[in-house]
């Protein structure tokens, strides 16, 4: 396990000789409290809010699921989020450095968090590449009348490749490389010119786009049936321990707590920053977006059910199946489908991109402080290290969509 971490500022080279691990050093900071809130909300609102929460809620008691969800939010989500913020702000460092400053024996926890975020970044970017391409496909409904066949065959080439195949689907590989190039640029720019500026633009844009999408979905035929399926409580589900586990799991997954992500973000707060209320603002904003996503997704699935003359339960799904198969089917059958598609897949991309920036920041900060690198050099090294496995195990492999869906769902 790495030892003797050195500390650098957010954008300056570090020196192990003059930056003791137990003494906070000057560090890049956010421009203010509101800028941090934008970045934190951008980190929390990700793919899981849109394609995971709606089905998890529906499958675990419908409206009744909101009870254990709120309990989990109040007893674990907000407290652990506040703890992440307090630790990051108090010790001003990467995840390994924060834990090392608490005790040398706990430094390993920070490196485990760093390793986990590295793995997440590798597969997360693949989904962003898909979402970016589907945003473009939406303009001409390029998936045709059989979105499932298009996704697995024409798009992923899953029928002709395997896990060990050397074949590459070049369009996806190129877009994936471009996404990583964009991530690298944001990381090189640093906290204020990169993460802060990106979040201050993308988070409001995401909220506006998704509100428009939800309003459109509410006026679709069958929307009422979809919302009834989503909100109708099944009170008996509250006696099932798995429902409570799902609620707590969703809170940890969605708020990105205990992964070192929020801790790292808080380490860029100014030393005199006021932490009061930050946990509540970010967690409630995240939960509000999840419920909004549930309304939008199930109003749309209600339209799909009415169109196909089946029950909502027959079309309810999550993960890859929801985003890249069910929604294209729905878009094919609605007026203004291309616009709806751009809003949905564009929202998916923006939500994922702002989250990925903060995920990569955990790895970057850890590597930068460990090896005393400049921000620019650390950003390039880390992003290349993440991009290579993303490209190697990218969508030409038949097993990858199944693997991604199992992790993300």
Assign residue 168 the CATH number of its domain.
1.10.4160
Give Cα separations from 188 to 10, 40, 276 (angstroms). 10, 19, 30
Residue 158 confidence (pLDDT): 73
233 strand-pairing partners = 62
Domain that holds residue 159: 33-408
- pTM, two decimals, is 0.90
φ and ψ at residue 18, rounded to 5 degrees: -115, 20
Does any domain span residue 27? no
Does any domain span residue 28? no
Does any domain span residue 70? yes
Does any domain span residue 21? no
Give residues with Cβ within 8 angstroms of 373, minimum separation 6.
8, 13, 14, 367, 381
Does any domain span residue 389? yes
Does any domain span residue 299? yes
What's the CA gap between 156 and 168, in Å, rounded? 9
62 strand-pairing partners = 233
Does any domain span residue 306? yes
Could you read off the pLDDT of 278-329 as tens digits, one per residue? 999 999 999 999 999 999 999 999 999 999 999 999 999 888 889 999 999 9
Could you read off the pLDDT of 173-207 as tens digits, one per residue? 999 999 999 999 999 999 999 999 999 999 999 99
Asked whether the beta carbons of 269 and 27 are under 8 A apart, the reply is no
Alpha-helical (H) ranges within 14-144 are 33-44, 47-51, 53-59, 66-72, 78-91, 95-102, 107-140
Residue 141 predicted with pLDDT over 90: yes
Residue 406 confidence (pLDDT): 47
Closest of 87, 91, 83 to residue 7, by C-alpha: 91
Does any domain span residue 25? no
Number of domains making up the chain: 1
Could you read off the pLDDT of 222-262 as tens digits, one per residue? 999 999 999 999 999 999 999 999 999 999 999 999 999 99
């Amino acid at each position: 396990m790495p030892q003797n971490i050195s500390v650098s500022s957010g954008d300056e080279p570090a020196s192990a000789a003059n930056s003791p691990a137990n003494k906070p050093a000057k560090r890049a900071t956010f421009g203010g409290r509101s800028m941090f809130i934008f970045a934190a909300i951008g980190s929390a609102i990700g793919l899981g809010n849109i394609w995971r929460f709606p089905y998890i809620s529906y499958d675990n008691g419908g409206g009744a699921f909101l009870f254990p969800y709120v309990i989990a939010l109040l007893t674990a989500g907000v407290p652990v989020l506040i703890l992440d913020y307090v630790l990051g702000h108090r010790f001003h460092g990467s995840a390994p450095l924060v834990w090392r400053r608490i005790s040398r024996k706990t430094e390993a926890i920070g490196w485990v968090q760093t390793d986990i975020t590295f793995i997440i970044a590798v597969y997360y970017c693949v989904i962003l590449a898909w979402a970016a391409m589907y945003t473009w496909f939406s303009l001409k409904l390029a998936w045709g009348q059989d979105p499932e066949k298009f996704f697995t065959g024409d798009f992923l080439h899953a029928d002709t490749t395997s896990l060990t195949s050397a074949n590459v689907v070049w369009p996806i590989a190129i877009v994936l490389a471009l996404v990583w190039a964009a991530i690298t640029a944001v990381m090189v720019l640093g906290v204020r010119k990169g993460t802060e500026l990106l979040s201050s633009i993308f988070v409001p844009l995401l909220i506006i786009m998704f509100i428009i999408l939800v309003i459109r979905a509410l006026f679709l035929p069958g929307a009422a049936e979809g919302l009834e399926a989503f909100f109708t409580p099944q009170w008996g589900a509250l006696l099932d321990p798995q429902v409570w586990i799902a609620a707590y799991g969703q809170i940890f997954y969605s708020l990105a707590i205990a992964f070192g992500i929020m801790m790292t973000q808080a380490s860029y707060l100014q030393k005199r920053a006021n932490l009061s209320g930050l946990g509540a603002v970010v967690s409630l904003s995240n939960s509000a977006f999840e419920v909004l996503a549930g309304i939008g997704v199930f109003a749309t699935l209600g339209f799909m059910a009415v169109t196909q003359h089946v029950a909502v339960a027959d079309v309810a799904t999550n993960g890859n199946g929801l985003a890249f198969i069910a929604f294209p089917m729905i878009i094919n059958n609605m007026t203004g489908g291309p616009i709806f598609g751009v809003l949905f897949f564009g929202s998916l991309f923006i939500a994922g991109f702002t989250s990925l920036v903060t995920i990569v920041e955990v790895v970057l900060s850890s590597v930068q402080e460990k090896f005393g690198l400049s921000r620019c050099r650390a950003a390039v090294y880390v992003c290349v290290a993440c991009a290579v496995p993303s490209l190697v195990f990218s969508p030409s492999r038949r097993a990858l969509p199944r693997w991604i869906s199992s992790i993300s769902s």
